[in-house]
């Protein structure tokens, strides 16, 4: 882990997406954070030690999904699938599919394996899985503010973790989508997570805080930032009632904030490989582009 000194920074952005507003000063106490995301090797050690079964490896609760036929209640997860050509970018169902048998061991389905990906971020982990691993490791998940503060690497207020340009000198600084989304990927690793540490570390010596995989944080999602008291250090605390208000309309499942963007972030669709960017995700959902790293009090 790396110790991040406490301080104040400008959180959010007024340039891109509404939920990144308002830009405000946020105070963060010193904390520790993993140098890189939890890998398949790390998670395998946890499962071997505890026998833990992830959310994606359990059948869906018929009581929560009464409209689904029995065959659709089988264990599984969401898998990204590149399209054959240009599609309507307002319909995410064009490139996401529910895949029975997909899990952290088989990220794209039962025919996929991870024995040659042990140095890559573990994916297909829901919020419950990430918190279970963190507890086993004697750690916790970072708050949204901690993640953004650490991702900036000491560069306060810049668009990207490395400055103002997305691709300085024409070079990618993180594993994001290069080409036309969701069908033409010309990136170094294609449409897949890269081994951790494949791109330069930021100013704090942290790898892949931007791009590669979205990362779970402990904060409930709200469509705008909640600005704390002017001198109150942020720890991401939320009243229990906020969990219900953070759920997507029509659902009782709370949503948490994801940070950092992923290998699927593309300037022509999702310009979210930035420190200020954020995304809501239901706690019970696992996908091929979501992972996590842990934090701890200093």
Mean pLDDT by 10 residues, the chain (298 residues): 97 96 96 98 98 95 79 90 96 95 97 97 98 98 98 95 95 96 95 97 98 97 79 48 75 93 96 97 97 97
Residue 40: Cβ within 10 Å count:
23
| Predicted structure pTM score | 0.93
Q: Dihedral (C-alpha) 163, 165, 170, 176: value to the nearest 10 degrees? A: 90
Which residues, including other chains, have CB under 8 Å from residue 51's CB and lie 6 or more apart? none
What whole-number distance in Å separates Cα of residue 80 and Cα of residue 158?
30
What whole-number distance in Å separates Cα of residue 74 and Cα of residue 121?
25
Place of tokens 């830009």: 23
Which residues, including other chains, have CB under 8 Å from residue 155's CB and lie 6 or more apart? 161, 162, 163, 203
Angle, helices 127-136/40-50, rounded to nearest 10 degrees: 70
pLDDT of amino acid 216: 98
DSSP 14-63: SSS-GGG-S-EEEEE--EEE-SSPPBHHHHHHHHHHH----GGGS---TT
What whole-number distance in Å separates Cα of residue 187 and Cα of residue 193?
11
């Amino acid at each position: 882990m790396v110790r991040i000194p406490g301080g104040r920074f400008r959180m959010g952005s007024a340039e891109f997406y509404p939920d990144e507003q308002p830009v405000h000063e946020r105070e963060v106490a010193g904390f520790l954070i993993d140098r890189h995301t939890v890998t398949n090797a790390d998670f395998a050690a946890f499962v071997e030690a505890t026998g833990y079964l992830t959310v994606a490896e359990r059948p869906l609760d018929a009581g929560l999904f009464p409209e689904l036929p029995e065959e659709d209640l089988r264990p599984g997860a969401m898998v990204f699938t590149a399209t054959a050509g240009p599609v309507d970018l307002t319909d995410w169902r064009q490139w996401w599919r529910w895949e029975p048998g997909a899990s952290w061991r088989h990220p794209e389905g039962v025919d996929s394996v991870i024995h040659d990906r042990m140095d890559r971020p573990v994916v297909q982990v829901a919020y419950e899985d990430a918190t279970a691993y963190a507890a086993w490791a004697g750690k916790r998940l970072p708050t949204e503010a901690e993640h953004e503060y650490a991702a900036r690497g000491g560069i306060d207020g810049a668009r990207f973790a490395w400055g103002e340009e997305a691709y300085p000198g024409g070079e990618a600084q993180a594993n994001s989508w290069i080409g036309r989304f969701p069908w033409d990927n010309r990136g170094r690793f294609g449409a897949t997570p890269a081994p951790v540490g494949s791109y330069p570390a930021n100013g704090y010596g942290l790898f892949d805080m931007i791009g590669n995989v979205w990362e779970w944080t402990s904060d409930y999602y709200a469509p705008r930032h909640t600005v704390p008291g002017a001198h109150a250090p942020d720890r991401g605390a939320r009243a229990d009632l906020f969990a219900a208000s953070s759920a997507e309309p029509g659902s009782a499942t709370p949503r948490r904030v994801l940070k950092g963007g992923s290998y699927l972030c593309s300037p022509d669709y999702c310009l979210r490989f930035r420190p200020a960017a954020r995304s809501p995700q239901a706690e019970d959902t696992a996908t091929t582009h979501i992972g996590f790293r842990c934090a701890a009090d200093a």
